[in-house]
Structure 1
Amino acid sequence: MEKFNKSHRIHIPPLLVLGFLLQFSSLHLSSSAYNFPDKYFINCGSNQDVSDNRRSFIGDENSGSLSFTKPSSSVESTNNSQNSNTSTLYNAARVFRQQSSYAFDATDVGNSTSYLVRLHFLAFASAVDLSSAVFDVSASGFLLLHNFTAKNYTNSPLVKEFFLPISTNNKNTKFRIYFTPQQSSLAFVNAIEVFPAPPVDFNLSGAIKVGSRIGSSSVLQTVYRINVGGQEIPSAGETIWRKWVQDDNFLDQTNNSKASQFYSSKPSYQSGYSEYVAPDLVYQTAREMKDNISVGSNITWGFTVNKSADHLVRFHFCDIISVSLNVLQFNAYINGNFKEEIDPNVGGQLAAPFCYDFVVGSHDSTVMSIGIGSAANLLGNKAFLNGLEIFEIKEGQAAIPIEEETSTNKIKTPVVIGSAVGGSVLICILVIGLFLFLRRRKTKPAEHSSWGHVPPYVGGGSSHSRISDPTINSSRVPNLHLGLKIPFAEIQLATKNFNSKLIIGKGGFGNVYKGTLVNGTKVAVKRSSSESGQGLPEFQTEIMVLSKIRHRHLVSLIGYCDERSEMILVYEFMEKGTLRDHLYSRDFPRLTWKQRLEICIGAAQGLHYLHKGSSSGIIHRDVKSTNILLDKNLVAKVADFGLSKSGPLDEFETHVSTNVKGTFGYLDPEYFRTEQLTEKSDVYSFGVVLLEVLCARPAIDNLLPREQMNLAEWAMKCKYKGLLEDIVDPSIKSQINPNSLRKFSETAEKCLQEDSADRPAMSDVIWDLEYSLQLQQTPVPREPHEDSTANASSAFIRHNVQRLPSLSTTVDGEDDSILLGADHDLLEMSASEVFSQLRDEGARAR
């Protein structure tokens, strides 16, 4: 493994504390060289000023020193029923029909070396179709957004956030943000934030390199900002409106770590650190290894990233778990093949924050693994982490047109003038500034770029990395399903007061208990944990989805309980546990290849019903082997609908824009990249499950070499090299008909196509898996080259599938609208029987 010594640690320039008065008379810490931002916050396309979370957004039609070029127009929302939780900031937008730019006065940047830029978008209903806009955004010569569209961002706003370097030449001119419509389209923006960032360095040239050649200044876009071991920190109460999310949903596993006790005192900030690096709450909580974990164990988090870009990764540490100094030393890991030794003894005292920065090179993978762990040759047997930030390094260049001296439109915005500073304080500032300048010249390398912080473009997954954001905003479960409510006392009785001996599983929501209701029904009881990264939105979604659907291959909801602040879900009991258990655990017998095919077919039928058979159309968003359960007859049922998204079928035929959610290792890379959800995202995740079934190994295995860590990437590389058989589960290798293997692997490959348009629908996946099963059962042996049905089978299946009813075998009698057809004879057929009829019918047609 690569090893760097601690001399590469990135130290952040000193931030000295001064007081300053805000409009709400609240006191905030600041650097002596940094003034708390009071500009520019722009309400675009409006003459109204809007106050939002301690910021005053000025209507861009008011007078001031702001200008933009080229003709433009303003539009207002015509949707009077717009989400009440959406700020009035999103009631207007400025629209551009040709390349235009906002120009900001760049003369007052102080000691900052970068701008913090936030762009707000909401394609609300108006006289102009904002959802049709396709455009680029650039600034400082860098391409920030390319072919960007806000289509279907109609219910909640999208905020893109960047750090851009400040050119020395720009300090006396204008800082411009360009909006360039594509072809005959348009560009728009609802709000803009531009202000000099605090002088908090992200020194790309000096950061520890992990397979990267980055060494000069670039634009940073925040991808993740994580409060490790703590609760979510909303942007509203943060110093410069950063948002920090919980780490629970990014954890590879939860049984080897624990959240540290809240540290009530203020962190002991040393020279160069303050709440501008990270807020107090980040350093007052941490995640640490449990006491009984063996030496050499790791805590690992997983993240989905842009595989074509380099990333800046910042680790935040603050030792709040030691009882004395010089007790702990441990390692930080990146992608399993890089290790850096961490010494938490900083400044000669405990609870002193510090950071490590790494620039991680692109490696043609959407997976980034971050870990911490003890080692046998280091002191102690503990490791901890307080916070984590991941930034994408954007290097795309953009052409900047020559600006005319006189803009066609001049729009000014008032500047809020702060309190005057006394002469003695001014002298102190000058002295301190000179000291910092001389210190920088002495300690900094010649090539240097300084960066600030920015709220996240949030993402993540469940047991590996659930990417969480609320999808339901109500505070209680709607009273639409009172018939499903089960009294808390009855659940206590069913689980023997949640006896730990009855725990049969643990997930992102909490513990799962085996129980027996008073009527004798065996159930699985899932009880929310206070340490869980999931909460009310997932709880509500699960109830809303499962109360409306019934299918043989979907787990049934028996009831729920929301008494005493409890969130409990009660399901039918699945005797055989999860598919993952039967693939990996030694406590379960190995499944035969035929059983695995039947399980895959059943799960595919359940997903197909969700996509096309339910009245509202549902995308699961968390398809994985732990969410496919098996009953006593090994019948597969899809479970865990906490992240599901429902909507009109015609809407899903294009896409739904949404904050990214899913599980690390299973997440559709196109969904992560575009934030546009389609049913094909489930297809991609199911493709990963197919490979799990074939190879009997996890989607992500951090113990394997880097090139083998991601199952989807590794299996496809093996298939292209003709080596797929080498990674097939040895326990079934001798059972598989070569033609069945070929068809099955082709199906998985189609599901894993990077472009969602190239992936099959779940109906096609069902037929392909059925055909793989037919090949497995074929008594006449065939050579692999004789299986030429990959294209032929798809041809006749697709020709007929449009007129078939749903393959559902169990329906809700109270809601016949959920059926695709009314032919009950066909509904009672098995998938194999329908497939056989199609095959015979196709043969007759030929």
Structure 2
Amino acid sequence: MKSNLCLSSIILFSLLSLASSQRRYVVPNRYFINCGSNSDIIFTSKHFVGDDSPSTFSVSGSHKAVQNNSSPTSIYQTARVFTRKTSYNLEADDKNTFVMVRLHFSPFSTNEFELHNKIINVQVFGFSLLSNYKVENKIVIKDFIVPIGNDKKFRLDFTPSTGSYAFVNAIEAFTTPNDLFIDGKDGTPHVSPKGPNGNMHNISTSYAFNPIYRINVGGRTINPERDPLRRSWTPDETFLFSNVSAKSESQHDMRPNYDSKGAASYDAPVDVYSTARRLTDKAVNITWNFRVNKNSVFLIRAHFCDFMSPGRFSTNDAFSLFIYSLYKKDIQLGQIVNSPQVPFYVDFVVDSGEFDNVSISIGAIRGNDQTVFLNGLEIMELLTNLGVVGLRTDGKKNEKKVHIVIGCVVGGMVLILILGFLIGSKYRKSKPLVEAKTESNMVSPYGRSLSISIDFTKNHSSPIPNLNLNLKFQLADILQATNNFDEKLMIGKGGFGKVYKGTLYDGMIVAVKRGEKGHGQGQPEFVTEIMVLSKIRHRHLVSLIGYCDEKSEMILVYEFMKKGTLQDHLYDTNENLPKLSWTQRLEICISASRGLDYLHTGAGIIHRDVKSTNILLDENYVAKVADFGISRLNSEEDNDVSGIKGSFGYLDPEYITCMEVTQKIDVYSFGVVLLEVLCARRALDNRLPYEEANLADWATTRIRNGEVENILDPFLAGKINPNSLTKFLEIVERCLKPTGDERPSMNSVLYDLLYTMELQQTMANREPHEDSTMNTSFQLSMIKIDRLPSHTNDDSEVNESSDSSFPTESQVFSQLKMNEAR
């Protein structure tokens, strides 16, 4: 009996050990090759073997070893140079698996060879790993994962460009686990920029993988020594659109509970699974944006490990993951794993199409309390097998197949071209007049997608990047809408160019802003304006209808705001415009502060050019903030100290001195706008005496001297409740504090303005406070009006940017009067 029990225990232990071993992995010893050398070295904890006289592999072709001891890293002091096609003949450790191929390049010069800026082509099994790849003056490491079939033998082919030569410093080519990529029964979800596109099958055997990004979300850089497959992972900060609601979490002593349903220990390092980004505001999403190649296909792998939730999951615990804001996948933790700290991943195949970027977001599901998080991301370009070069060497039988494949491909392409020409000639139709479309409503049903698909920190060459938008107009449509930019339709002129009133083919009235060559801020502002307005929505931010970059044009099309700019109604020369009452002015200030508050707290954006000409009024005098050409992300470092950006008269003195861009520069500028509203005069008027030219300096001096009645717009005399005026002056004083730390947030300004409106409407018949007179000074510490807390939240404003509050296409933009130069 005891012997049977013992035998059963041994069998059970063996089975468990076998099952466990199938999920373990140790990097094999081959191949790590020190190219161009006859000696072995230790590099990144691995033994690299010289390739002069190798025993475990061979090198065939025309090649030569070169050396330069200038590099501090021994692996980059030698290289193998190829004057003609040369092959490394290698062998995988198993069949039906994968090989991790890692190529090291570090160019140097010798008396015989100049390795800088060389063009390199690398192929294996018909997969083109590098095609006309130019190695510049830096160390470059390129990773690839190649499928291995029934033939374990493979070769790496290096081919120089015509009349030149190629090189490589080191090669890693080691066998990985055979379940690194698994084809599910139903295939892998396939996503395009237009939305879901079915499923793709046989990915693991049909493609090689070129990792473009490996992102440790919420964590730090991970070096190859800390990754089971010797991969490098980078932090996510530079790809994160806004970190306002994205909190970094970590639990470095966490030991993942690997489960058969989830990921294996080699799918990602522990360092990835022990850090994360967690969503702190379920009214918004966390979005990451990545630049990718156009017309390419990618495998995106999202890694998850919930070390933040306290207990087991229920079957309903879930949150949403979005790709391109058009595809939604519910991450149902309760149905994937049973408890926290169990790593798993989800794969997607994504087409880039005509776009050079991809956005990935996570967001909450309404009514679901599950923690929303992400641990890691991998984006790998799928490389197709050419079928004609470097095929598995099975002798003449394969050579014959190659010739057949070539003949079929060439013949088929010729036939397709002929048919395509004939069909195209017969059925060619003109393109639709306007390509602008409303965006899909598949954005998170709960929360605002804050995705912007372009990196703020990079300069973009012309023409502008192919934005991930459906907002592009044809130039012919713009010309028709503006009657070839008829000067009679020009309604404004500013730093970017001229603004025209236009009418689209469907009768919609728009404002068309055309950038002029050699006049104004140019392409960076053009791109930034599109980036911001195409992806944020708020009823107090002007809406972008579309853009046109055809023939080097820089044209922006907006909704048309019938009542023009705020400045038009304060002190513009047009006497036909009715004067604004104090209540109307407060409503406009409140609306503008709502828009700015959303930019700061909801989207993490600093406007940088707040002024009365950038506050536009619709037909009902509802205000919207416009002109985002020099906006930037709150988290973005400002390395451009070559010039001050903004408008004179509105510039924060601290910004001018320190060149530090914060949200408080918008607060200062808005304080100047509040003075414009009160005084009805320009922020900067050089026609006046020097001491009166700057509104902020002149007005604050008069107020401190108790001369409020001398700065007040005469139209408002006797029409402002003293308590309302006192509170308004307090807001101005706080906004114009000399340092940003002393100024309030836009959220605080918003609620103080609401209180100012309440005082105007509800306290008109009450006795004013004893110090609330027309001689009010800035000694406001004695004022008895309660200050609203800056952190006040009003639940009624949570859905401020919902679709229901968007302007309709029949609403209109502005007769922009942009006469001030930046």
TM-score by length of 1: 0.46
Q: Which has the higher contact order (CA 8 A, sep 6+)?
A: 1
Larger Cα Rg: Structure 1 or Structure 2? 2
Give the TM-score normalised by the residue count of structure 2.
0.47
